[in-house]
Structure formats: C-alpha cells, structure tokens
Amino acid sequence: MIRRLIRHPVVQNSLLLYAVQFSTYLLPLATIPYLSRVLSQEKYGLILFAQNFIWYFLTLTEYGFNLTATRRIAIHSDDPEKVSRIFSAVMVAKFLLLLLSFAIMAAVVFSVPKLRPNWNLFLITFAAVAGNCVFPLWLFQGLQKMKHVAARDFIAKTIAFGLLFLVVRSDRDYLWAAGLQSGGQLLAGIAGLIAVPFVAPVRLRMPAASEVWESLRTGFPVFLSMAAMSLTSSTNTFIMGLRASMSEVAYFGNAQRIIVALRMLVTPLVTSIYPYISQKAARSEEEAVRFLRKYSLLLSLPFLLISLGLLAAAPLVVVFLGKGYAPAVPLLRIMAFSPFMLALSHCFSTYYMLAFGYEKQWARILFVAVVVNFALLIPLLAFLRPSVALAVVWIALDIFQTSAYFIFYRRHSQDQLAGAS
C-alpha cells in the first residue's frame, strides 16, 4: 500500500517539488541567523527591503504562468508539438516581460531619492528576477517530470548559499550577501532551462506573434490577481520602509520570511495536485468534487500542526534570528496560522475555482481582498506599531480569502453534485 502510494506520480512530484521549495525558501531561511549576526539591522533591513521591492517584478515576469501554462501543458501533455508551441510562446512572453520589468525597476530606483544611492543593490537583487524568468518550472510541473530539475535546482542554490557563509563577514559585504542569494536563483534558472531538451521532448522555436499574445491573454486574469496580492504584501512593506526605520523593516521582514517559508511548504502539494485535479475536472466534474470533499481536510491538517507549533515556539524561533529581534515574537504569533489558512484556501481556490475554470470569480475575490487590505492598513497604522499593523492585516486577509473561497466552493459544488445525480 505504502509502496504503491509512493510510486504515484502526484506523490513523487510532490516530494521532488519539496526539494525545489527547500532550496528556494528554506535554504535562505538557514542564512538568517548568520546574516542577522554579521550584518547590522540597518544593512540587513536594506537587503530585505530590496528583495521585497524586487517581488513586484518576480510577479510581473511570472505572469500567472505557473498556473495557466501548467494547466495548458498538463492538458496537452500527450502532444509534443503542442507542448513545444506553448513552451516557446510562454518563454518569449516572459523574456518581453523581463525587459519591461528591468525598465520599470531602473526608472523607479533612479527617480526616488531614498532609493537612488542603493541602485547597485537593486541591480544585483534583480538577478533573481532573471533566474525566475528563465526557469521553466511550469513546464516540468505540467509534464509531471521534476526528478532531474529538482536536483539541479538544489545543487545550484546550495553552492551559492554555501559561498555566502564564506564571503560575507561584515557590513562591508552586504552587496555580496544580496548578490549570492539572487545569483543562486539565476544559476538555478539557467540550469533548469538547459535541462529542458534532456527531460522532455520539447523544442524551443520562434513562435508567431499571435501565439505569444494568446499566452499573455490567457494568463492576464491570473496575473492581475497575483499582481493584486503582490501589491498588498509588497506595498505594505514598501510603505513601512518609507515611514519607519530599517530596523523595523528587519523585524517584520524576518518574521515574514519565516512565515513565507512555512507557507511555501504548501506549494509542492499545490503544484502536484493542480495538474492532476485539472485533468480529473476535465473528465468528470462530479469525480473531481468528490475528490476535494474527501481530501481537503486531510491535505490541510499537517499545516494546522505546523501553525500550532509556531504559535507555541515563537520565542525559540526568534532566538534563532539572533540578538535584538525580540520584537518579532508577537509578529510571528499573530501570523502563526497563515500556513494553515493558505493550505485550506487552496483546496477551494486553486483545486476548485481554477481547475474548474472559474478564473474571473477567483480574480474578483482577490481584488476585493486588495480593497480590504488598504481599508484595514490605513487606520491600523495610526494606532499600532507599523510592523504589528502589517502582521494583523496579513492574517486578516488570509481569513477573508479562505472564507470567500469556501463560500463559493460550497455553493457551486453542491449544484454540480446535484446536477450529476
């Protein structure tokens, strides 16, 4: 039974994606206690601020392709010619978005007086955007072929982060600290792109303009929704960085990185199950709904345990951050249930709404969440410490979105089961 379960493609791809997520989010997390000790809070906060700013462009270049292109690849996985056309069109679209991102980044940095003196830091950090752009994770997810890609990704990022411990010794090396982190992303992205012809029967060719446009058009609703959420989290931190000290940014930034790392443990399940449930929904909506009803709570339960553990162990986790980070304890406790809320929300949003083609309704909920974000943030900043205000808004949005997704799922899934019977 266990052996058969392990051999299931969804389980194998989930395990391999955990290796990718480990190198992307948990490996950088291991650098926090070191960097928080060898760098001052001001310099470390500056790096976190730059990485947060770059997240806008990571969102722009990803453009929702990790959802829309993955679904298209999964549906046409038995047609190498169709997969090659989708792959080529998406890669050209991402390259155009990369050029646009760099132009916007340079314009913003050089036009804002507070950012201009650190233009070299922003330029170095932007390498992560290029790495994320060229890494066709969505292709391997859609084809459910993660084995060799996961190994290359892990090795490339491990080398980069190993060098960080050797090179970064003080504030004078803060650019190296930023560069090695973003450089690891770039190296992993290039390795993933090189691996494509060896892992899948896919060939890069010059697509027609109409095919590139179709990729952009298909991904646009999801991109708008992802951009809206990036707008909330990144803009909240950006506002705090303009109003508060970089030490305050460091408190929230490190707490946020821990929460994000734990939330990213959900991603391998999502990226493995999403193509599977998309194929199942295309064959039988009733069968897909019954799958969700059977496994939703089971898929979310491990993350409830993780959230409870973080709530109890927050003071110990902050010791891990280093001396002077005690203000991060209440932030971690406020956001502790975020991993669980994310896992639960994916059962009703990604596995149901996106897999069943409800992209517009899904996007509408995210846009409402943006309005709720700023409606909460503005008054809370007047009464709470900025980092605490951001933490409260973070968990409030998690609760709002999960509730909205569940209400939609409950209403429409009942209709589908009733129609099937």
Q: Is the pLDDT of residue 57 over 50?
A: yes
Q: What is the pLDDT of residue 141?
A: 74
3-state SS, one letter per residue, for the chain: CHHHHHHCHHHHHHHHHHHHHHHHHHHHHHCHHHHHHHCCHHHHHHHHHHHHHHHHHHHHHHCCHHHHHHHHHHHCCCCHHHHHHHHHHHHHHHHHHHHHHHHHHHHHHHHCCCCHHHHHHHHHHCHHHHHHHHCCHHHHHHHCCCHHHHHHHHHHHHHHHHHHHHHCCCHHHHHHHHHHHHHHHHHHHHHHHHHHHHHCCCCCCCCCHHHHHHHHHHHHHHHHHHHHHHHHHHHHHHHHHHHCCHHHHHHHHHHHHHHHHHHCCCHHHHHHHHHHHHHHHHHCHHHHHHHHHHHHHHHHHHHHHHHHHHHHHHHHHHHHHCCCCCCHHHHHHHCCCHHHHHHHHHHHHHHHHHCCCCHHHHHHHHHHHHHHHHHHHHHHHHHCCHHHHHHHHHHHHHHHHHHHHHHHHHHHHHHHHHHHC
> pTM score > 0.85 for this model?
no
Lowest mean pLDDT, pick from 283-287, 362-366, 390-394: 283-287
Largest interatomic CA distance in the chain: 68
CA distances from 216 to 173, 197, 222, 365 (A): 40, 24, 10, 21
pLDDT bin (cut points 50, 70, 90) of residue 262 is confident
What is the percent of the chain where pLDDT is above 70? 85
- Rounded Cα distance, 99 and 45, in Å: 27
Q: Is the pLDDT of residue 150 over 70?
A: no
Copy the structure tokens of residue 198.
């060896």
Lowest mean pLDDT, pick from 19-33, 230-244, 299-313, 378-392: 19-33
pLDDT digits (tens, 9 = 90+) for 210-226: 888 888 887 777 777 66
Q: Is the pLDDT of residue 244 over 50?
A: yes
- Give the chain's domain count: 1
Measured in residues, the chain has a length of 421
Q: Is the pLDDT of residue 193 over 90?
A: no
Q: What is the pLDDT of residue 307?
A: 93
Closest residue by Cα to residue 417 from 291, 279, 280, 289: 289
Q: Is the pLDDT of residue 404 over 90?
A: yes
Question: 189 is in which domain, residue-wise?
Answer: 2-420
Q: What is the pLDDT of residue 306?
A: 92
Render the burial of 227-254: b for 16+ CB within 10 Å, e for the rest. bbbbbbbbbbbbbbbeebebbbbbbbbb
**What's the whole-number average pLDDT of the chain?**
80
Lowest mean pLDDT, pick from 5-19, 122-136, 363-377: 5-19
Q: What is the pLDDT of residue 6?
A: 44
Lowest mean pLDDT, pick from 116-120, 178-182, 264-268: 264-268
- Rounded Cα distance, 103 and 81, in Å: 34
Which of the pair, 12 or 392, is modelled with greater confidence? 392
pLDDT digits (tens, 9 = 90+) for 64-118: 787 778 778 877 777 778 888 888 888 899 999 999 999 999 999 898 888 888 8
Q: What is the mean pLDDT of residues 310-319?
A: 86
